[in-house]
Amino acid sequence: MTRELFIISLVVITVSGVAGYLLYKLGSNSLGVITFERLAEVDLTGRSLAYLALMLLGLLMVAYGGYELRGHIFAMRYLFTPAIFAGLVLLFVSRFLIGIPLSVTGVGKLTAVLTALLVVCTAAASSIIFKETYSLRVVAGMALAVVSILLIGEG
């Protein structure tokens, strides 16, 4: 990959991520305080069960179709690689649950705290699982990230 394409991909990821966060905050604001209890609210009626069945059938059809397209479309092989698919599902769950703290704090503050936490925790997990090593400079940067969590958390 050329340097230019790498930079363009970082810009697209950043712009789409920022837009996603801002839209997510707008939507969260319109729903009030979000809690685990509110996320678990279910009104089971005949109509809601029918729609739920349709949604699940649609998800199954998309999953089956995508899985069968693995030999024809690289993006489907990429998406339906078990570790990647599981990782994306966990990222979805993470981003879905972000609505809980997002409903009671600012998007900038929450993004700063989560980013610092994710950097430190991912680096620690990568060190354990993939045996990645970090220079003293990188460790110092992560320490600053922890300090930033403390400073932002008090603000």
Reported as a single tens digit per residue, the pLDDT across 44-80 is 999 999 999 999 999 999 999 999 999 999 999 999 9
pLDDT for the residue 45: 96
Reported as a single tens digit per residue, the pLDDT across 26-52 is 999 999 999 999 999 999 999 999 999
Contacts of 78 (CB under 8 A, 6+ apart): 84
Reported as a single tens digit per residue, the pLDDT across 88-139 is 999 999 999 999 999 998 888 888 888 888 888 899 999 999 999 999 999 9
CA distance 102 to 50: 31
Six-digit token pair at 138?
């990188």
Asked if 116 and 146 count as a contact pair (C-beta separation under 8 A), the reply is yes
Residue 155's pLDDT band, with cuts at 50, 70 and 90, is low
- pTM of the predicted model, to two decimals? 0.79
pLDDT for the residue 80: 93
Please state, as a whole number, how many other Cβ atoms lie within 10 Å of the Cβ of residue 29: 11
Give the start-to-end residue ranges of the domains of the chain.
Answer: 44-97, 105-155
pLDDT for the residue 128: 94
Please state, as a whole number, how many other Cβ atoms lie within 10 Å of the Cβ of residue 102: 22
Asked if 123 and 134 count as a contact pair (C-beta separation under 8 A), the reply is yes
Asked if 109 and 152 count as a contact pair (C-beta separation under 8 A), the reply is yes
Largest distance between two CA atoms of the chain: 60
pLDDT for the residue 108: 85
